[in-house]
Amino acid sequence: MGYNEMAPFKNLFNDFYARDISKKIRSTMTAKARVGIYHSTVPPFGYRKSPEDSRKLIPDAETAPIVDLKLWERVQEVNGKRRRMCKSTRKPGIFSGIAYCPDCGRRISFFTEKTSKNSDKKTYFGSCLRYKANGPDGCTPHRTTSRNRTCTILF
């Protein structure tokens, strides 16, 4: 028997071996992560390796107080009230920061869509962000046009 006759069998065994080793390595890494063993050589910013056990991470005291708690809370407050820019006009939308879903309380995001395939006319629609992220499991669509929203708010 020559090499060409045995090649398919060797390739088959090599494929099984590679798949088996991959599963073993993946399960070992997952088991180590569940126990809390860090397996990389360089710890992420803000942490350092423990002097007692190099596989454990502890917070780094030098980098911890970069941002004090008061400043952090102020920034989070400002970010919560941030108005997003409309991509097409690069200006905040008329409902930015004030339109919220009546069911879940998340923001309503407005976007444009063509009214038909052959038309260039665009209509602005609003939809709940939780619905956009999670689908029907998150919330109901609440899809509304900006014209309807303007009339509702004005009257």
- Break the chain into its structural domains and give their ranges: 1-35, 84-154
H/E segment holding residue 31: helix 3-35
Distance CA 43, CA 37 (A): 12
Question: What are φ and ψ of residue 114, in 5° steps?
Answer: -70, 145
Summarised one tens digit per residue, pLDDT across range 37-78 is: 888 888 888 888 989 988 888 888 887 777 778 887 887 777
- For residues 26-38, average pLDDT: 89
Q: What is the mean pLDDT of residues 126-154?
A: 66
At residue 153, does pLDDT exceed 50?
no
Distance in angstroms between the alpha carbons of the first and the last residue of the chain: 89
Q: Does the predicted TM-score (pTM) go above 0.75?
A: no
Closest to 133 measured CA to CA, from 108, 97, 103: 108
Upper half-sphere CA count for residue 41 (Cβ side, 13 Å): 0
Tokens for 146, please give them. 């900006």
Determine contact, residues 131/139, Cβ cutoff 8 Å. Answer: yes
What per-residue confidence (pLDDT) applies to 134? 80
Judged by average pLDDT, the poorest of 2-16, 71-85, 107-121, 139-153 is 139-153
What does the pLDDT look like over 81-123, one tens digit per residue?
Answer: 655 555 655 565 666 666 777 777 777 777 766 666 666 666 6
pLDDT value at residue 26: 93
Q: What is the mean pLDDT of residues 128-146?
A: 73
Confidence band, pLDDT 50/70/90 cuts, at residue 20: very high
pLDDT at 108: 76
CA 23 – CA 51 distance, rounded (Å): 32
Closest CA to 145 of 82, 104, 95: 95
The rounded distance, in Å, linking the Cα atoms of 33 and 30 is 5
Q: In the predicted model, is pLDDT for residue 24 greater than 90?
A: yes
